[in-house]
Amino acid sequence: DGTRNVCEVAKECGIKCFVHFSSCSIYGFSDKIMTEKDSGIPCDFYGMQKKVQEEIVLKYFPKALVLRLGTAFGFSPMMRFDLAMNSFVAKALNGERLTVFGGTQQRPFVSVRDVGRVVGFGIDKGLEGVYNLAGLNLTILEMAKEICKLTGAEFEVNAEIQDRRNYVVSCKKLLREGFTFEYGIKDFVDEMRGKPE
């Protein structure tokens, strides 16, 4: 309802450019590399809601820019430590041992800095339609190993608890437009340590 309300007000106000943040969570689980043409099979309430929101936005604004974000990471004034990368980096820099649940599940990640950059890029280029947004495709275990390598932290794997979500996404559509991902895990670790850019 919230998405529909925003669309209706935007339509009444004559908005010409509409950018909507969706999520790669709509893909749910898949063994193949997911592109924007794939609808996916959401396996949780969040993914299902994001899929419905996309449909509403594109009904009101067929030329909207819809960005399907990977799991975001990076520093912000109101940090979200419930996100995998943010949680692991914070714990590692605090000297804590990381616990990886499962570990083999694939997940796309994107820096909040690149998210901000792509909005400006998309508006300037007049992009329309759906675009995946993920600078990194990693397993949770690969992510943990990289963070530990950069911080000196240690990790353990708990194979008893598994996350059903598993997907890799292609960003070729966006890359063909000329966008480049600039921020990775090392940039985030350095930022959290307080190192200047």
Tens digit of pLDDT for each residue in 142-181? 999 999 999 999 999 987 766 666 789 999 999 999 999 9
Mean pLDDT of the region 109-115: 96
Q: In what order do the strands lie in the sheet with 129-133?
A: 19-23, 65-69, 129-133
> Using CA atoms, how far apart are residues 63 and 17, in angstroms rounded to an integer?
8
Q: Which helix (H) or strand (E) holds 121?
A: helix 112-125
DSSP 27: G
Model pTM score:
0.90
Q: How confident is the model at residue 190 (pLDDT cuts 50, 70, 90)?
A: very high
* Residues 48 and 40: beta-carbon distance below 8 Å: no
Report pLDDT digits (tens) over 40-90: 788 889 999 999 999 999 999 999 999 999 999 999 888 899 888 999 999
The pLDDT, as a whole number, for residue 117 is 97
pLDDT over threshold 80, residue 195: no
> Using CA atoms, how far apart are residues 68 and 71, in angstroms rounded to an integer?
10
Both tokens assigned to 20: 């909507």
Report pLDDT digits (tens) over 124-152: 999 999 999 999 999 999 999 999 999 99
* Residues 42 and 50: beta-carbon distance below 8 Å: yes
> Using CA atoms, how far apart are residues 195 and 93, in angstroms rounded to an integer?
13
* Residues 157 and 103: beta-carbon distance below 8 Å: yes
CA 124-18-174 angle, 5° bins: 50
Lowest mean pLDDT among 23-27, 102-106, 186-190: 102-106
